[in-house]
Amino acid sequence: MRNMLTAAMLCAVFTSLSEAQVQSLNLMPIPAKVQLGNGWLLINPSFSVAITGHHEARLDRAVEIFLSQLGEQTGMLPIDMKVTNSPSAVLLIQGAGGSKPVQELGEDESYRLDISDSGARLSAPATLGVMRGLETFLQLVETTNEGFAVPVVSIGDSPRFPWRGLLIDVGRHFVPLEVLKRNLGGMAAMKLNVLHLHLSDNQGFRVESKTFPKLHEMGSDGLYYTQDEVRDLIAYARERGIRVVPEFDMPGHSTSWFIGYPELASGPGPYEIERKWGVFDPAMDPTREETYKFLDKFVGEMAKLFPDQFFHVGGDEVNGKQWDSNPKIQDFMHAHGMKNNSDLQAYFNKRVQQIVSQHGKTMLGWDEILRPDRTNSIVIQSWRGPDSLAQAAKQGYRGLLSSGYYLDLMWSAERHYEADPMSGAAAQLNPEEQKRVLGGEACMWGEYVSPENIDSRIWPRTAAIAERLWSPQDVRDVNSMYQRLEKMSQRLEWLGLTHDSSYLPMLRRIAGTNDISALQVLADVLEPVKDYTREETAPAADTSATPLNRVVDAVRPESATARQFADLVNKLAAGGSQPGVEEQIRGWLSRWRDNQVELQSLFEKSFLLKEIAPISQNLSALGAAGLAALHYLDHSEKAPVAWVTEQLAFVEQAKKPQAQLLILVAPSIQKLIEASSGRTASPSLPTK
Amino acid sequence: MRNMLTAAMLCAVFTSLSEAQVQSLNLMPIPAKVQLGNGWLLINPSFSVAITGHHEARLDRAVEIFLSQLGEQTGMLPIDMKVTNSPSAVLLIQGAGGSKPVQELGEDESYRLDISDSGARLSAPATLGVMRGLETFLQLVETTNEGFAVPVVSIGDSPRFPWRGLLIDVGRHFVPLEVLKRNLGGMAAMKLNVLHLHLSDNQGFRVESKTFPKLHEMGSDGLYYTQDEVRDLIAYARERGIRVVPEFDMPGHSTSWFIGYPELASGPGPYEIERKWGVFDPAMDPTREETYKFLDKFVGEMAKLFPDQFFHVGGDEVNGKQWDSNPKIQDFMHAHGMKNNSDLQAYFNKRVQQIVSQHGKTMLGWDEILRPDRTNSIVIQSWRGPDSLAQAAKQGYRGLLSSGYYLDLMWSAERHYEADPMSGAAAQLNPEEQKRVLGGEACMWGEYVSPENIDSRIWPRTAAIAERLWSPQDVRDVNSMYQRLEKMSQRLEWLGLTHDSSYLPMLRRIAGTNDISALQVLADVLEPVKDYTREETAPAADTSATPLNRVVDAVRPESATARQFADLVNKLAAGGSQPGVEEQIRGWLSRWRDNQVELQSLFEKSFLLKEIAPISQNLSALGAAGLAALHYLDHSEKAPVAWVTEQLAFVEQAKKPQAQLLILVAPSIQKLIEASSGRTASPSLPTK
C-alpha cells in the first residue's frame, strides 16, 4: 500500500526529462523512459532488499551480486545489508516470472524502477528484467551531501534490440578466464547480453575436446579452456544475464585443427600453429565424407558443452588456394557441377548446417554463409554493413550488425556510436523485415591484445555501442554520450576492469622509471593508427609472439585530451567572449612545446622510447606553431602567407603515422594556423 | 664449461659494492653479498631456462611462475620462452636438492646467482633457494637502451632469520581468498616465508569445520574459507615457498566459537557474534574436561588441514571476568591451589599444549603463554618486545618478534625498519640463545581493513620489515631503503597488489566526482592517527559493520609528500647553496595555501568530505604561515616574536588529530617558523 501511494505521488511531481537531467543521472545505456522527481532515497549500511514476487535461485544470486557491488561501490560492508521478506525493505523486487532453463534470444528484459524518497520498487516480467533494473539502480547511486543516495525517479525500460553482444577473439591471442570474467562484469553493467567467443583460428584452438583431444593438445600451445572452465564461465555469464555463443571458424581460419588432424585439410600436411596474421591457404576438405563425420561428432560434443541455442560456424575468408591445387577436389566440383569455390563453400555450409541442426542448434555465420538456397533459420553476422543486413532481411534471414563495431580498428566512440543496424538500406525495411535485424556485436579481434591491454581496447568504447543497441534510436547526443562515458569508465574500473589503470604502469615500464609525467603528456595526445594500418606498416611482420609492450600498445584508442583540445579550438574559432578558453589553449600548447626538453633524457635510457623521439619533436614543433598562430590571432594580425604555407606543410607531415601512432592534436593546431591566416573563422568547424 | 669460465671472468672484473650501486640495483631485501660487474645480459622474447640439477614438480612450477612474471613484467608473451634441457639456455638452474614434503622451519633458502653478459646461472642447495634466487633475478630486470636486461652481477645470499612472516587477521574482518593470494605474491617477491592466519576471534570464525560445523555456520556471517579453499591457499603458498601457520585464539578472543557451542564458555549464553572492537569477557571454561575433549577433536581436524609443523593457539588478553564470576571455576581453582587467573590460564595452556603435541604439532602462542613450567618446545610470539624475547631465549624458548611490526598502528616504514629482533636485551644473548630468536612477523590486525584498503596497510611498509628480517644486520640506510621501497611499490602493483591503485578510486568515491586534484593535494599530506588513537577518538564506537570509506581509510599510512617536504626543509635549514630547494618549498606551500579555495565547492557535495573541511583550512593556513616564514628567511629578517608565538600556537593546534587524521607537514612548517625567528639553524634537524 505504501508503494502504491508512493507511485501515485511520484506521478504528481514528475516532470518530463530534459537532456541536462539525463546527463545528471549518469545512466548508460539511457533507459527508454525516465521521469525525474525531487529528492533522494538514502542508501545506508542497513539497506535491505525484499523479494516479494516470483522466487528462484538465479534471482537470489542476482541480488547477492547486486548487494556485493553496492557494497564495493559505496565502501560499505554488506555485512548488515539484508535480503528479507519484509515489505518494509528499502528495495522491493517484484518479478512476475522466472528464467528459461537456458537463456533465450528475445527473453523479456524489460523492467520498471520506481524510486521515492522512502523506498524503491523494481518490477519485471522475468528475472532477466530484474537483473537489468538492478544495474540501473547501481548506476543511480551517488555521493551526496547527506550520504550515498539514489534520486527520486521513475524508469520504464526495455531494449531496442534483443541481441547485444561482444565478440572476443581468444584464438589469435589466448585470453585468460579471469579476463573474460571481468569483461562479463562490464557487459552486465552495460546491459549487453551475448558473449560471442571466437574459439578457434589459425593461431589457436582454445577449448578442450574430449572427443578429439589433439585439437587442444596440439593446436593451442597449452593455452585453452578446460571443459570445466567453460562450464564455470557459462554459469558466471548466466548469473549476469548473458548468453555465451561459441564460434568455431570453418572451413577456413582452421590451421590449428590440422596440427593434430591433418586429414581434415585440403592440402598435404604437416601443419604448424600459425604465428603470423592474415588469411592463410589451409581449409577443410569439403569433398570427403570423413570431414562431416568428424564435424558431426565435434559439433555434437560442443553443442552439449555450450547450451546456447546458437552455434557459430564462422565461414569467412576462404582464399580457396588449397581447393584449387587439389585435383580430387577439382574432380569433385566438376562432378557436382560446381562452378567455383563459392559453390563449393556453399555445399560445405549446407552440410554443416544440417549437422548443426541435427544437434538441435541454430547456425550463425559471417556474411559469406548467405546463399539463396539456405533455410531461413540461419542467422547472418555482417562484417559488410547494414546494406548487407538489409539484403539478408529481405530474403527472410535474421542478422546482426558487426560492421562499424570492430574495436580493433581503433575508431572513436563517436564513430561506433553513429553505426546503427537500422541505417542505410535497413532503414527502408518493412516492419516484418525490421524484426529480422536482431541487433549487433562489438568485435574484439585479437591480433594486438594481451591480458594487459585488452580491457583498454574494449572499454569504455563498447559502452557507447551498448547504448546504441539498447536505447531508443533517437538517443544520439554525442556530447552527452561522452560525458556519461567518462563516468561509466570509472564505474567499469570499480567492477575490476583495468582499461584505465593499466595505462600508467605500461608507460612506466616503457620508460624504465616511475617518473613519467613528460611521457604521459605526449602519450595522452597519441592514438594507435586506424583500420588495418598497423599490420600494413609493421617494419617486420608481427606474429603472435611479438611483445605487445610498445607505446602503440599502451596509448588509448581515443585521446580524451585531443577531443577536449578540439572542443576548445572550436570554441575559439566560433568567436564570442569565452573567458579562459584561450588561456587553456595556450597552456596546452606551451606544455607540448616544452615537453620535448623534459622527455629528452628518457629517450636515451629506453629502447621502447626510441621510436617515438621524432613524434615528440613533432609535438613540440606543433605546440610552437600553435602558439605563434595564437599570437597572430591575439594581435589581430594576419599571419604571413609564407609562414602559413610552411607551417601547414609541416602539420601535414606531422599528421602522418610514425611508430604506428598518430598525433591527434595536429588537426586542431592546423585550424589555429588556418585561422591565423584569416582563412577561416567558421563557427561550425567539425571536431572530426 | 662456459659457465665456469664466465664465473672466473666475473671474479676478475668485480669490484666491491658501493652504496650507490646497491641502490641502482633495485633489490629488496638486499642480498648478503653482491658484486657488481660491467655490462648487461639482454632478456628477449626467446629467453630460455634449463633445469640442469635436481628435478621436481615444485621446481618446474616455480620456473613456470617465474616465466609468467617475467612475461608480465616485460610485456613479452611467454609463448616463446622455453624450459629446455639445453646447456645453452640463457638461465641455467642447478638445484642440488629438492623440497621437504612439508616446508620446514630452517629449510635451506640460500642461493647463488651469477650473471654474465652471455648467460646466468642460479645454483642452490634446495628448491627453496632457487625460488628466492628467481625473485632476485626478476628484481634485477630493467628497461635499458638496448632492451630489457639484467646487470652483470654475482650474488651470494641467505637469510638472517629463518622465520619471516606476515600475520593477517581474517577474524575481525573477513579477507577474501583472492586478497590473500595476491598478498602471498607480494610476500614471495620480498622473500617472506610464513603466512600466519589469525583465523578466529570474537568477531568471526573463518574456517569450515566438518567436526564442529556450528563454528563456521553460526560464527562467521557466512564469511569463511571452505576446507577446499584452505587446501588451495596452502598449495598456492607452497608454490611460492611460503608456509601457512594457522592461529585459533583461545581461551579468550573466542566469542565466535560460543554462538554454536555455548557450553565451551565460562559464562551463561546465549552468545552473539561480537560487532565491536576490544577485549571481551567470554572465555573458554578451563575447568571442564569436555572443553579439552572438544579441543582435542578440533585440533586434530585442523592439524590435518594445515600441514605446517606449528600450531598457534593465541593465548592473549583474557580479562578473566567470566572466570571470576563463575562459582564452579572458583571452586576448581581453590581445589587445585591456583592463586589467580594467570595460574588458571597456565593450566589451560598446559592442557592445550598436550593436545597440540599429541597431534604432532609444535605450539606457538603470544607472550602470555610463557610460564616457567612450559616445555622448551613451544615458541613465543612477542607483542611485548625484544626484551621479552630475550627473556624467553634465556629460559630456553624460541621466539618471534612482532612488537614494532604492527602494521595497524600506522607507523612509518622507517620506524618498522628500525625494530630489530636482536636489539635491546636480545643483543646481549650468547650465540646459543641468539639462535632461539627465529625472526619476526609483521602483523595486520583487522579492525580497520577491507579488501579495498588492506593492501595499502600492508604494502609497501612490509617490504621494509622483510629486509630487516632477511638482510645482514648492518643494512640500515634509511634513505636507500626509501628509494628502493618506492621502486618495489611499483613492482608489487605489477604482481596484482592494489596498495597504490586503490587510492584515487577511493578519493573519487569520497568526492562523488572524478575531478579530485584538489582533494588529492590535501590527502597526500595526511596520515591516519597512530597507535590506538583511532579507536580511542572514534565519535561513536566503531563496529565490524562500520563502512571503511572515510578519508582516514583512503589515505596512506605514510605520506611520501610529507617525507619529501621534510627533506627539503632540512636541506634549507642546513644552509649552503642548494639551487631549487627553496623554489620547491615555496611551490608546495603555495599549493597548500591555495588549495582550500579549490576544494571548497566539494565540501558541500559530499557527506564524506565534511569532516575534513577544518583540516583543509588548517593546511591552507599552514601554507600561508610557511610562506611568511620563508619571506623572513629570504630577507634575512628576524620574524617578530609576537607573530612567531602566534604561528607556533596555531601549528600546535593544527598538529592535533581531526577526523582521525594528522597533517604530516605541520612539523616541517613549524621548523620554518622557528628558523624565521632565528631560533634554530641546526644542520642536523631530525626529520622525525
pLDDT in tens, B234-272: 999 999 999 999 999 999 999 999 999 999 999 999 999
Chosen from B143, B144, B604 to mutate, greatest number of chain A CBs within 10 A: B143
For the stretch A447-494, pLDDT in tens is 999 999 999 999 999 999 999 999 999 999 999 999 999 999 999 999
For residue A279, give every residue at least 6 positions away whose Cβ sits within 8 Å of its Cβ, in sequence order, or none. A252, A317, A319
Give A550-598 pLDDT, tens digit per residue.
999 999 999 999 999 999 999 998 887 678 999 999 999 999 999 999 8
Nearest CB partner across the interface for A147, out of B79, B604, B607: B607
Q: What's the CA gap between B10 and A536, in Å, rounded?
A: 46
- Residue listed under C-alpha cell 547504448: A467
List of chain A residues whose C-beta atoms are within 8 Å of the C-beta of residue B505: 490, 493-494
Residue A109 has what pLDDT? 98
Distance of CA A164 to the CA centre of its chain: 10
Give burial (CB, 10 Å; 0-12/13-18/19+) of B83: middle
Residues of B in contact with A505 (CB under 8 A): 490, 493-494
Check: CB of residue B677 under 8 Å from CB of residue B644: yes
Chain B residue numbers with beta carbons less than 8 Å from the beta carbon of A549 are 74-76
A147 shares contact with chain B (CB less than 8 Å): yes
**pLDDT of A106-125, one tens digit each?**
999 999 999 999 999 999 99
Residues 163-192 of chain B whose Cβ lies under 8 A from any Cβ of chain A:
173
Each residue of B296-324: pLDDT tens digit? 999 999 999 999 999 999 998 899 999 99
Average pLDDT on A134-154 reads 96
Least CB–CB distance from B508: residue in A145, A490, A508? A490
Say if the Cβ atoms of B505 and A486 lie within 8 Å: no
Given the residues B104, B142, B217, B317, the one annotated as active site: B317
Give residue for cell 588537426: A667
Q: How many CB pairs under 8 A join A and B?
A: 113
Which chain B residue has its CA at the smallest distance from A501's CA?
A: B501
B608/A553 touch (CB, cutoff 8 Å), yes or no: no
Q: Which residue in this structure is represented by grid cell 546482426?
A: A400
- Interval A378-424: pLDDT, tens: 999 999 989 999 999 999 999 999 999 999 999 999 999 999 999 99
Could you tell me if A115 and A92 are in contact, meaning their C-beta atoms sit under 8 angstroms apart? Answer: no
Distance, CA of A593 to chain centre: 35
Could A144 and B548 be called an inter-chain contact, meaning their C-beta atoms sit closer than 8 Å?
A: no
Interface test with A, best of B48, B454, B549 (most A CBs within 10 A): B549
Tell me the residues of chain B between 74 and 93 that have a Cβ less than 8 Å away from chain A. Answer: 74-77, 79-80
- Residue A165, φ and ψ in degrees, nearest 5: -120, 170
For residue A585, count other CB atoms closer than 10 A to its CB. 23
Reported ipTM: 0.91
Query: Which chain A residues are closer than 8 Å to B509 by Cβ?
Result: 73-75, 143
**Interchain proximity A512–B545, CB inside 8 Å:** no
- Nearest Cα to B622, choosing from B660, B580, B658, B578? B658
Query: Does residue B490 sit at the A interface (CB-CB below 8 Å)?
Result: yes
**3-class DSSP string for A171-235:** CCCCCCHHHHHHHHHHHHHCCCCEEEEEEEECCEECECCCCCCHHHHHHCCCCCECHHHHHHHHH
The answer to whether residue B278 neighbours chain A at the CB level (below 8 Å) is: no
Could you tell me which chain A residue has the CA closest to the CA of B602? A145
* B680, pLDDT greater than 80: no
Our CA-based measurement puts residue A593 at a distance from the nearest CA of chain B, in whole angstroms, of 22
Per-residue cell: A529: 593508427
Query: What residues of chain A lie within 8 A of the CB of B519, using their CB?
Result: none
**A207 close to A227: Cβ distance less than 8 angstroms:** yes
Q: Which of the residue ranges A85-89, A285-289, A651-655 would you say has the lowest mean pLDDT?
A: A85-89
d(CA A216, CA A223): 8
pLDDT at B550: 97
- CB A549 to CB B506 under 8 A? no
User: Inter-chain contact A607–B145, Cβ cutoff 8 Å?
Assistant: yes
Q: How far is CA A649 from the centre of its chain?
A: 36
Nearest chain A Cα distance for residue B544, angstroms: 8
Collapsing DSSP to helix, strand or coil, A256 comes out as: helix
Q: Name the pTM for this structure.
A: 0.93
Residue A30 has pLDDT above 50, yes or no: yes
pLDDT higher than threshold 70 for residue B6: no
For A35-91, the pLDDT digits (tens) are: 999 999 999 988 999 999 999 999 999 999 999 999 999 998 766 677 888 888 999
Catalytic residues of A: 317
Check if A601 contacts B (Cβ < 8 Å): no
Query: A350-364 pLDDT, tens per residue?
Result: 999 999 999 999 999
Known catalytic membership, residue B317: yes
Q: Which of B509, B601, B609 to mutate to test the interface with A (most CBs of A within 10 A)?
A: B509
Spatial separation of the C-alpha atoms in residues A671 and A642, rounded to whole Å: 17
For A222, which residue in chain B has the nearest alpha carbon? B79
CB contact under 8 A, A75 and B452: yes
Closest-approach residue (CA) in chain B for A602: B145
